[in-house]
Amino acid sequence: MYKIYINEKPLIFIDSMGIQDEWLSDKKTLVTKYMGKTKEFLQYIDLLEKKSKINRVILHANEVKDLKNEFFKVVDVIHAGGGLVFNSENKLLVIFRRGLWDLPKGKIEKGEIKREGALREVMEETGVDGVKIQSKVGKTYHLFRSKHQKRALKLSHWYEMTTSYNGKLVPQLEEDIEKAKWVEPKDFLKNYTPMFINIRNIVTTYLASR
């Protein structure tokens, strides 16, 4: 299964065998089979971008990876990297940017290894030092419009990171980051709003695996 958030609403790709009965009876969910025409993607993107009664679209096919690959043909894919960074007290490093609580992340530069780009972005955005990657956590997908109103897919690669750094955090103001702080992970999910659904999902998924 793949979840791509568009205007905070999910476009879900799934194998046809994975369709659940409750989805079919949900009036706010559109369930449809992909018929092999890429222009279908644009129709469903438009539907989720606009105000409508539909708040979730589920596209299914015999092979979900083929469906994902077809979708990638109609959007520009921008790779980003970020971290779930924990200090010696097992607190999570979070940021506040453009009115939303977030995790440090940013665009992977051309020719840069994803892991290295994720480390660089974390350190640049927060001023934290001595960060080490422990493991890959997962990926998130978010469709947005560029400054020129062209649709692009941000594919963010997330890593578990650790540091013993106990110095001052320095939010990167030129990236509109107003705050950087350490918080208890469960407290972050419970009390820090608003927050992108993708961010909530990746933290929730990580904590559930521990």
pLDDT tens by residue, 65-106: 999 999 999 899 999 999 999 999 999 999 999 999 999 999
Q: Grade residue 195 by pLDDT with cuts at 50, 70 and 90.
A: very high
Q: Grade residue 175 by pLDDT with cuts at 50, 70 and 90.
A: very high
C-alpha count within 13 angstroms, C-beta hemisphere, residue 135: 5
User: What DSSP assignment string belongs to 20-61?
Assistant: -HHHHT-TTEEEEE--S-THHHHHHHHHHHS--S--EEEEEE
Q: Grade residue 145 by pLDDT with cuts at 50, 70 and 90.
A: confident
Q: Grade residue 197 by pLDDT with cuts at 50, 70 and 90.
A: very high
**Helix or strand (DSSP H, E) at 157:** strand 151-162
Top pLDDT among 67 and 146 is at 67
**Helix or strand (DSSP H, E) at 187:** helix 185-191
* pLDDT value, residue 146: 74
* pLDDT value, residue 150: 82
Which region holds residue 42: left if phi is over 0, alpha if psi is between -120 and 50, else beta?
alpha
In percent, the amount of the chain with pLDDT more than 70 equals 99
pLDDT tens by residue, 38-64: 999 999 999 999 888 999 999 999 999
Which token pair is 85?
Answer: 């960074």
